[in-house]
Structure formats: structure tokens, C-alpha cells
Amino acid sequence: MRNGCRGRGENFTPSPQYRIGDVFGDGSVLIGGGDVVSSEDGRIFLAQKMGVTHVLNAAIEVDGVDHGLTNLTEPSFTSIRLNAVGSEDFDLSCSFTRACDFIDMALEPPPPAWEATAFGSPPSHPDTATAISKSAATPGRVYIHGNAGVNRSTTVLLAYLILRRGYTLEEAFELAAACCPEALPNMAFWGQLVALDKTVNGSTAVRHPSLQNDLQN
């Protein structure tokens, strides 16, 4: 059964300045290109306008969100870099679990502040405990990117939807394409996703989208 995810930003609206896909429609999982994280304006946009707290960089050639910081007032992000190459001979499946764990971590609300204390017990006053718990219970938002936001980032997103959200590959790609029409893993990455889909869902091989289009023409 597929699980939705509602985070902050029920009225989330992406900016036309950047080509960013909103996977679930609530701003919790975003996908796009590396151009956003490559500039100070883009990083500020991610943090302040979109509420992004975590960034997953799937491209070896794209510098991360902390590269080239010009001042200490810039936002900071929790980030991970997969160092994936976008070629047909690269095995991205080795990083699927690591990427999924990071995305799950980003979307999980942090524990109440009192859980991090040495005593491991809540404040004595119930109102105080409730206030602290609520203030700390806001989930994060994650931005998944590669270089162009087409191949590696899409592959990571599809693996996440299959492994952690109960989607089949066909369903996952339909969702990804709806928010990012350019989404298109290369043939090798698609084959790795087909193998994952078969292991997780017992699905039969799903044709690469480019081949599906050929059949329809």
C-alpha cells in the first residue's frame, strides 16, 4: 500500500525561476537540477522559499550545497553525496538503500527536545512538554538533484518510491513524470530499477519509457 507524506507547506507553490518538481504535491520531496545548489541565490531560495532542510546530490561532477559559500549568513543543509556517474556502465543500485535511508531521515520529525537530555525524561510540567514536543515535531524537506535533474536524480527517486513507499516501477515513473516531464533514467539505470521492482514487488520487466513511446507511435 502506498503511503503519502504531508509536511509543511500545504500551499506549496514552486517558483518558475527554477525547474523543480514537487513529487507529492506538498513540498516534502523535491527533484531538480544541480543549478539550484550551484549559486548562492539558489541555495537561499531552497531554504527560505521552499523550506528545504536536506539535499541529496546524486552527481559526482556537481559540487554540493556547501561548496562556494560566500558568507556565514547562507543557509546550511544536511546533505549527502552519492558520487554517481551518469553513464551506462555505472551501478547506481549500490546506493539505493543509502539514499532511501537519507530521504527517510529527512522526512521524519525529530524527537522531542527532552528525549535528547541526559535524563531521558520529559519536563515536569505537561504544558511545557507538549510545547517542546510540538515545536520539534516538524518534518524536514528534501531536495534530490543530479546535474540536469533527469537521469540520476530520477533513478534515486524511483528507487525510493519502490523501496519505501510501496510503488511498482510503472507507478513510480508515472508519478515522477507527472511532476518532472523530463524524467528519464538511462537504459542501464532502468534495468537496475527493473531488477529492484522484481525483487520487491515481483513485477515482470517494464519497458523503458522511450521504448513505450516507440510502440505508441
CATH number at residue 158: 3.90.190.10
Residue 111: the pLDDT is: 63
Residue 112: the pLDDT is: 59
Residue 117: the pLDDT is: 45
CA dist., res. 65 & res. 56, Å (int): 9
Q: Say if residue 209's pLDDT is above 70.
A: yes
Say if 6 falls within a structural domain: no
For residue range 139-191, what is the model confidence (pLDDT) as tens digits?
899 999 999 999 999 999 999 999 999 999 999 999 999 999 999 999 999 99
8 A C-beta contact, residue 90 and residue 98:
no
Residues spanned by the domain of 92 = 20-112+138-216
Work out the pLDDT band at 58, boundaries 50, 70, 90: very high
What domain count does the chain have? 1
> Among all chains, which residue has been given the C-alpha cell 515545536?
135
The amino acid present at 54, given as its one-letter code, is H
Closest CA to 50 of 13, 6, 102, 10: 13
Average pLDDT, the chain: 80
Work out the pLDDT band at 215, boundaries 50, 70, 90: very low
Q: Say if residue 34's pLDDT is above 70.
A: yes
Say if 170 falls within a structural domain: yes
CA dist., res. 86 & res. 189, Å (int): 9
The amino acid present at 191, given as its one-letter code, is G
Q: What is the pTM assigned to this prediction?
A: 0.80
Residue 4: the pLDDT is: 36
How many other β-carbons are positioned within 10 Å of the β-carbon of residue 147? 19
Say if 198 falls within a structural domain: yes
Say if 67 falls within a structural domain: yes
Closest CA to 24 of 47, 5, 49: 5
Q: HSE (CB half, 13 Å, CA atoms) of 140?
A: 21
Structure-model confidence comparison of residues 7 and 100, the more confident one: 100
Work out the pLDDT band at 205, boundaries 50, 70, 90: confident
Say if 8 falls within a structural domain: no
Say if 124 falls within a structural domain: no
For residue range 61-106, what is the model confidence (pLDDT) as tens digits?
888 775 655 555 667 899 999 989 999 999 999 999 999 999 999 9
Say if 126 falls within a structural domain: no
Say if 15 falls within a structural domain: no
